[in-house]
Structure 1
Amino acid sequence: MSAIAFTVLGYSLSWLELAGVLTGLAAVSLAAMGKVINFYIGLVNNVLYFIIFYQNQLYSMMLLQVVFFSLCCYGVYSWSKPNEQQEKLKISLLKVHWRIVIGIIIIVAGLLWARLVVYFSELFPENIETPACPNIDALLTMASIAGQALLTRKKLESWALWMMIDASSTVFYATLGLYFTAILYSVYFCIGTRAFFRWRKEYLLQTENRQQQIIC
């Protein structure tokens, strides 16, 4: 699974990481365009990165792929199922208090998860290697779960959160030597930024159309 695809500037890129990069780019690009197929490609990406993160002792991010796999399945259902008015899911905003609550949950859950991962690595040292950067790993894990969950409900805030995650992940993976994954997350950041403004424009258009319908 670690066969080298090619080497660039001294960095050997495995076929596994290359496949992860390509499916990741495809999934995020399609999500930005509001295409439900992004979740199907995301399922493949989750399996690939489960293996990659296991090989690099990033256990929180590894387990995150299991959650992502489930969220992708839900995303297909959520984006495809029409509501009572036979309308597909539309872009919407969170209420302010929910933004605060989600932020607190990410921090608290992230720190607790980091302690739990370290505890198990110490409890079973022969089976689980010491995790790399457990606090950062766990916080990115919880933020990513929140971002993906919000995306399945087409919340505009999902892209704002993903922009922060992608910027942090770019630096994080570069320090771990996963350079192509770091490049991937820098591209994710650009796609996420564009997606945020694209979704924001669509949301404002939806709001304007709804107001016109009320007036009529």
Structure 2
Amino acid sequence: MSLLAFFDINNTLVNIPIGSGYAMSWIEAVGTLFGLLCIWYASKEKTINYPFGLINVTLFAIIFFQIQLYGLLLLQLFFFVANVYGWYAWTRQDEYGDTLEVRWMPVQLLTITSVLSIIAIALLTLYIDPFFTALTHLALSVLSLFGGHIALPELSPDAYPFWDAAITVFSIVAQILMTRKYVENWILWVVINLISVGVYAAQGVYALSIEYVILLFIAANGTKEWIQTAKNNRTPAVTA
């Protein structure tokens, strides 16, 4: 198989007998694998999650380009930048040689983040179609700078505006919180994955629904482990 064939979403790796059948391409399978590895190692507080995450969002950006979901493609660019920053933040040492620790968000920051998230979800629910249309236009403008002249695809109205808005906003917030090692990021990922399982099942995309069930268990495990780590980090060391 050539390198170009690997990136083609029509190059099927396996046909999954779910619903009416689902043809999973090589690029989707590899991208999904790296995504699962990213989330698993993040739950274990391993910095190697970020290289896996960078590969995951790059491959899915290529997928979204081919299926003309340019708004989602642009979101992958955000996640790419967030992964680069997270890699830096997790490995950076302060003047005492210490690195970032797992901790809970301060109450004030939690309150501000919650209020802004609620406002963002409400606004995005109301304006999700023009928002993603604008993102699509922006993505096409960026692609045109690199010589890609692509016609604007026909965009259908969002089937689940509130749930899509919640997934989008929570995913951005959770990714940012993860880069700062806040425990709350995992609680948000649990919520995101629960919503995603329901939305994809309702749309008949059962393979993705099953994938998010796996992600849900990883996020739940990450929540448990990071809560314990945060507790240990707050416990003063006992000296002999």
The normalised TM-score by structure 2 is 0.78
Gapped regions of structure 2 (runs ≥ 5): 1-7, 138-150
Deviations 1:99-120 (A, max 9, x none): 2322222232234345555226
2:5 aligns with none
Distance 1:60 1:160, change over 3 A: farther
1:24 to 2:35 alignment = yes
Give the Cα separation in 1 of the matches to 2:185 and 2:194: 14
Paired residue for 1:191, among 210, 214, 218? 218
Identity of aligned residues (%): 31
Tell me if structure 2 keeps the 8 A contact 1:26–1:41.
yes
Give the Cα separation in 1 of the matches to 2:163 and 2:63: 17
Give the Cα separation in 2 of the matches to 1:167 and 1:22: 20
1:39 to 2:50 alignment = yes
| Runs of 4+ with deviation above 6 angstroms | 122-125
Which moved further from structure 2: 156-165 or 135-144?
135-144
1:174 aligns with 201
Q: What value does the CA root-mean-square deviation take over the aligned residues?
A: 2.6
Tell me if structure 2 keeps the 8 A contact 1:4–1:12.
yes
Deviation at 1:33, TM superposition (A): 1.0
Deviation at 1:37, TM superposition (A): 1.3
1:143 aligns with 170
Deviation at 1:59, TM superposition (A): 5.2
Deviation at 1:54, TM superposition (A): 4.8
Give the Cα separation in 1 of the matches to 2:152 and 2:63: 20
Give the Cα separation in 1 of the matches to 2:183 and 2:195: 20
Deviations 1:17-48 (A, max 9, x none): 21221011110011111111111110111122
Tell me if structure 1 keeps the 8 A contact 2:190–2:219.
yes
Deviation at 1:58, TM superposition (A): 5.2
Deviation at 1:203, TM superposition (A): 1.4
Deviation at 1:56, TM superposition (A): 5.6
Structure with higher helix content: 1
2:15 aligns with 7
